[in-house]
Structure 1
């Protein structure tokens, strides 16, 4: 499977469990590896035949910046759902890191892999992703 890589997407969102973490936005860093078939766009050299990573990235930015998750795991899952369900990727690896979250480290984070089989068929038939942002 081919992959589109989106590295070091630096965003800010409310993320964390403690009261101070819930009061202000924190930095998060995302890396995405999006599984998709790139043969058609490679042959045609036309963006119209490729996976729309610009629109997908804009959707991820909006999702993350508006979110208020407690865990990086929940944030990673929401991003994966957006990429697979909302933008038709075959699979995605989402890595979310929170710089400064743990003393003596640069960052702490998670990496998850999701694909079409991880979401119900009803999700894959045009579900509205607006509800994926946690309150």
Structure 2
């Protein structure tokens, strides 16, 4: 079983949605991410170069969403999962959840959660 790196409640803004008013102003999204990797080499060396740098993962996610303009959360989450797995070769698989707090007035959020591996994208 792989080790896990956790990033929880990453808050960012993104143009997302099918309604005209959603296309005018970036909306808040919350990201929850679990990265499956083997941390033993980094633990033994105590060297960041041997680790999955979660600061860099976060920067990639922020850059990706700031330049993103998707209609559907389904498209955004699938593209985000692919981007992470392509850019971070030590990540074997991931669980990714994207929450859209403003989607439903009577709910805390609407969201999607997926699990993807490198094999899912032919990587």
Name the TM-score, length of structure 2 as normaliser. Answer: 0.93
Does the residue aligned with 1:101 lie in a helix, a strand or coil? Answer: coil
Aligned-pair CA distance for 1:52: 2.1
In the TM superposition, what are the counterparts of 1:103-114 in structure 2 within 5 Å? Answer: 103-114=105-116
Structure 1 runs (4+) deviating above 4 angstroms are: none
Match of 1:133 in 2: none
**Distance in 2 between residues matched to 1:6 and 1:57, nearest whole Å:** 8
Kindly report the root-mean-square deviation, in angstroms, between the aligned alpha carbons of the 2 structures. Answer: 1.0
Matched, 1:101 2:103: yes
Shift of 1:47: 1.5
Displacement, 1:21? 0.6
Query: Secondary structure in 1 aligned to 2:4?
Result: strand
Q: Secondary structure at the match of 1:41?
A: helix
Pairwise mapping of residues 48-127 of structure 1 onto structure 2 (< 5 A)? 48-88=49-89, 89-120=91-122, 124=123
| 1:32 partner SS | strand
Q: Which residue of 2 aligns with 1:40?
A: 41
SS at match of 1:80: helix
Distance in 2 of aligned mates of 1:83 and 1:91: 10
Q: Mark the runs of 5 or more structure 1 residues left unpaired by the alignment.
A: 125-135
How far 1:102 moved relative to its partner? 0.6
